[in-house]
Amino acid sequence: MAPRVYVTIVSPSVRATLLTTHALGINIEMEEIDLSNKEQFKPSFVKINPQHTVPTLEDDDDFVVWDSHVINGYLVDKYGGIDDSLYPTDMQERAKVNQKLHFDTEFATLSNRIVKSILWGGKKSAPQDQVDEIIERYDFLEKFLASGPYVALGHLTIADFSLIATVTTIELIVPLDPKKYPKIAAWIKKIQALPYYAANKNGLDKVRNLLAAALEA
């Protein structure tokens, strides 16, 4: 049985998991959860995931886990074979990846709050204090990339998948100045060149359209 992933592609977390599955060449079953119709609160889904969040992974019939960072690490551990580069088993390298994943958790929480306030809260822009917080995180990310072309190690990892989904989403609201952040701009182009980048782009395009409609309303 192929792993089943409950998704909504507008979610950056879901897109990070889809990037991971594509990078690993995993065939998965996707089940769409329509958040706009509150399908995440259906008893059948809450029974699987009491926190009713996406992505949620079902594997091996009875194993369930949620939170994209945990899911992505699990997928590499189980399906990555001898190539553990996306989530290294070396303790120190994995610690560096985990560090950036925790950074993404906080970054994504702020980003999601801003996006939701526009899509469903009637806001037309982010308040300046939140914009300042996003810019501070751009500053941090630019510094992270000073040591190499990827966010955690000298090669692609699941931390890049999580952060590209977060950054490209919030950048729709808080534009990223490529002159101020040349390393981030170069990193984005590098990830966009991946043959499976559509796993992020498709959902991102949908978010862009939703934001445009909300701002015009």
Q: What share of the chain is helix, strand, coil (3-state, %, to 5)?
A: 60, 5, 35
Residue 175, CA atoms < 13 Å, CB-side half-sphere: 3
Q: Is 11 a catalytic residue?
A: yes
- Does position 216 have pLDDT exceeding 90, yes or no? no
Report, as an integer, the average pLDDT of 99-110: 98
Please give the pLDDT value at position 59: 95
Tell me the backbone φ, ψ of residue 58, rounded to 5 degrees. Answer: -115, 130
Please give the pLDDT value at position 208: 97
Could you tell me the pLDDT band of residue 120, with boundaries at 50, 70 and 90?
A: confident
Dihedral angle over CA of 129, 191, 103, 18, nearest 10: 110
Stated length of the chain: 217
The H-assigned helical ranges of 80-217 are: 91-119, 128-144, 158-170, 182-192, 198-216
Computed over every residue of the chain, the mean pLDDT equals 96
* Residue of 11, 13, 111, 162 marked catalytic: 11
Q: Nearest CA to 68 among 39, 108, 36?
A: 108
> How many percent of the chain have pLDDT more than 70?
100
Report, as an integer, the average pLDDT of 60-78: 95
137, two tokens: 């995180």
Report, as an integer, the average pLDDT of 113-122: 93
Report, as an integer, the average pLDDT of 181-196: 98
Q: Nearest CA to 191 among 50, 54, 22, 76?
A: 22
What the chain holds in terms of domains, given with CATH numbers, is 4-79 (3.40.30.10), 91-216 (1.20.1050.10)
Please give the pLDDT value at position 35: 87
- Does position 193 have pLDDT exceeding 80, yes or no? yes
Please give the pLDDT value at position 61: 76
Could you tell me the pLDDT band of residue 89, with boundaries at 50, 70 and 90?
A: very high
Number of H helices, E strands in the chain: 8, 4
Could you tell me the pLDDT band of residue 149, with boundaries at 50, 70 and 90?
A: very high
- Does position 109 have pLDDT exceeding 90, yes or no? yes
Report, as an integer, the average pLDDT of 7-11: 96
Please give the pLDDT value at position 1: 75
Could you tell me the pLDDT band of residue 159, with boundaries at 50, 70 and 90?
A: very high
Please give the pLDDT value at position 20: 98
Please give the pLDDT value at position 62: 87
- Does position 36 have pLDDT exceeding 90, yes or no? no
- Does position 60 have pLDDT exceeding 90, yes or no? no
Could you tell me the pLDDT band of residue 204, with boundaries at 50, 70 and 90?
A: very high
